[in-house]
């Protein structure tokens, strides 16, 4: 894999994570527990899709630059709407069904904690585009992390019902967090050339933040059982195929259509 291929794959990985989680969260639009939180989760979805757009646009520019005479073969739209499930590089955790409110909240917290420290480090990338995207996105993710942290505490230290629901969500979600810090070859390659981020250092920071919020929420960190999670390599659950079938319907039914 060339350095250019690694950077493209890395950009697609970051974009896919943001897009798929943004789509999952958007399923709460009009269904949130109260109007204010309905709007909050919808705005977080928009932030994530915006991050995805920036990473897709950059990946498309690199693909087109390397395509020789075949100019403009890729765009943010083709990368989002015309790739098959096996071509997506998102982590399994973000493609899981939205579940109940506790599941959505906890997933957002776990992922926002990861994203916060990732973008914080990515600001130092020697690739100016990655650095710029991370700097802009970090402002959004700071809010995502604060909002989801407050909800984890509220649910964990709330009623017996809310506590039991978030405990159940933790048992379901934590096995998938291992994939966040298991680098794919393109992540290692991007980190080696100073473009990407070393994941081992992020893991410690992530664990410290999660442990602190869980303690405040009167929650225990569940024991993590290893699972086979190959989302970063294109090995996905049927949930992603179902999600893409819905998300890509218009583009595939009416090819090359424009609003």
Give the per-residue pLDDT at 39: 79
Domains in the chain: how many in total?
Answer: 1
Q: Give domain status of residue 142, yes or no.
A: yes
Query: At 133, phi and psi to the nearest 5?
Result: -65, -45
Could you tell me the two tokens for 141? 């993710």
| pLDDT tens string 180-189 | 999 999 999 9
Cβ(33)–Cβ(112) under 8 Å? Answer: no
Q: In the chain, which residue ranges form alpha helices assigned H by DSSP? A: 3-26, 35-65, 76-81, 92-95, 101-122, 128-156, 160-177, 185-192, 199-216, 238-247, 249-253
Distance CA 79, CA 115 (A): 21
**What domain range is 49 assigned to?**
3-253
Give the per-residue pLDDT at 36: 65
| pLDDT tens string 104-121 | 999 999 999 999 999 999
Give the per-residue pLDDT at 227: 73
What value does the mean pLDDT of the chain take? Answer: 92
Q: Give domain status of residue 25, yes or no.
A: yes
Instruction: Calculate what percentage of the chain has a pLDDT beyond 90.
Output: 80
| pLDDT tens string 117-158 | 999 999 999 999 999 999 999 999 999 999 999 999 999 999
CATH number at residue 30: 1.20.1260.10
| pLDDT tens string 33-67 | 766 676 789 999 999 999 999 999 999 999 999 87
Could you tell me the two tokens for 82? 């015309």
| pLDDT tens string 225-259 | 777 679 999 999 999 999 999 888 888 888 877 65
| pLDDT tens string 193-221 | 999 999 988 999 999 999 999 999 999 99
Q: Give domain status of residue 259, yes or no.
A: no
Distance CA 196, CA 133 (A): 13
Q: Give domain status of residue 100, yes or no.
A: yes
Crossing angle of the two packed helices 3-26 and 185-192, in degrees rounded to 10: 120
Give the per-residue pLDDT at 73: 85
Largest CA distance in the chain: 63
Give the per-residue pLDDT at 32: 63
């Amino acid at each position: 894999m060339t350095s250019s291929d690694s950077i493209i794959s890395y950009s697609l990985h970051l974009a896919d994570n943001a897009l798929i989680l943004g789509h999952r969260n958007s399923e709460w639009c009009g269904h949130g527990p109260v109007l204010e939180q309905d709007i909050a989760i919808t705005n977080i979805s928009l932030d994530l899709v915006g991050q995805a757009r920036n990473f897709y646009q950059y990946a498309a520019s690199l693909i087109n630059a390397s395509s020789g005479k075949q100019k403009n073969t890729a765009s943010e739209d083709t990368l989002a709407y015309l790739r098959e499930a096996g071509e997506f590089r998102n982590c399994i955790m973000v493609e899981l069904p939205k579940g109940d409110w506790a599941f959505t909240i906890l997933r957002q917290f776990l992922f926002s904690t990861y994203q916060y420290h990732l973008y914080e480090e990515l600001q130092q990338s020697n690739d100016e585009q990655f650095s710029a995207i991370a700097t802009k996105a970090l402002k959004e993710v700071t809010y995502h992390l604060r909002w989801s942290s407050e909800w984890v505490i509220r649910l964990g230290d709330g009623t017996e019902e809310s506590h039991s629901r978030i405990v159940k969500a933790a048992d379901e979600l934590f096995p998938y967090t291992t994939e966040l810090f298991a680098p794919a070859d393109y992540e290692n390659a991007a980190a080696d050339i100073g473009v990407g981020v070393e994941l081992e250092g992020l893991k410690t920071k992530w664990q410290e933040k999660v442990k602190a919020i869980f303690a405040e929420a009167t929650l225990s960190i569940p024991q993590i059982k290893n699972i086979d999670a190959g989302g970063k390599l294109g090995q996905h659950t049927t949930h992603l195929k179902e999600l893409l079938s819905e998300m890509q319907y218009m583009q595939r039914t009416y090819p090359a259509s424009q609003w």
